[in-house]
Amino acid sequence: MGTNDEFPESGASAIVGRGAELDALNTFVDSVDRGPAMLVLEGEPGLGKTTLWQEGLHAAARRSFPVLGCRPVQAEAQLAFTALSDLLTDVPPVVFDELPVPQRRALEVALLRAEPEDDEHFPRAVALGFLGVLVALARSGPLVVGIDDVHWLDQASQRVLAFAVRRVRE
């Protein structure tokens, strides 16, 4: 799903001194077809977590897994649904068309793709819509969702992602 602009060319061969981490990334990506899994990259700022994160997304793309990715930043942390919008940018419209109308409508409003009617705001419908997108994208095989700098996620996207993660089954 991700574009080349979002995830520049893989630099695995240019990553120096991270053989163990790259092996762990590839092992993780190889395991995602067995069911829901999560990988967290931790460490001090400047240690190369973003480089490893990008390589993980490339590893998934090389295996033809759909990839949804976003890189939240502090300056946008107060803007609702920014990360969610970034994650869903390249999802084909046909996937949204499969959603029940209330979920699709709520998601379109949250992503600023449709005008709200009155004070229309249905957080649960947005979360269910996002979960529906994930399920639709994962029907044909593993789906990888990658979030860099998760601590900068906006609260609205955080709630939607938490809702979806608690309900992912297969």
Handedness of CA 52, 54, 59, 60 (dihedral sign): positive
Packing angle of the helix pair 123-138, 101-110 (nearest 10 deg): 100
| DSSP character string of 22-44 | HHHHHHHHHHGGGS---------
E-assigned strand segments in the chain: 67-70, 144-147
- Predicted structure pTM score: 0.84
**Tens digits of per-residue pLDDT, 103-143?**
999 999 999 999 888 766 689 999 999 999 999 999 988 99
| Cα–Cα distances in angstroms (integers) from residue 70 to residues 73, 105, 117, in the given order | 10, 22, 28
pLDDT of residue 17: 66
pLDDT > 70? residue 38: yes
pLDDT at 48: 84
DSSP-assigned letter for residue 75: G
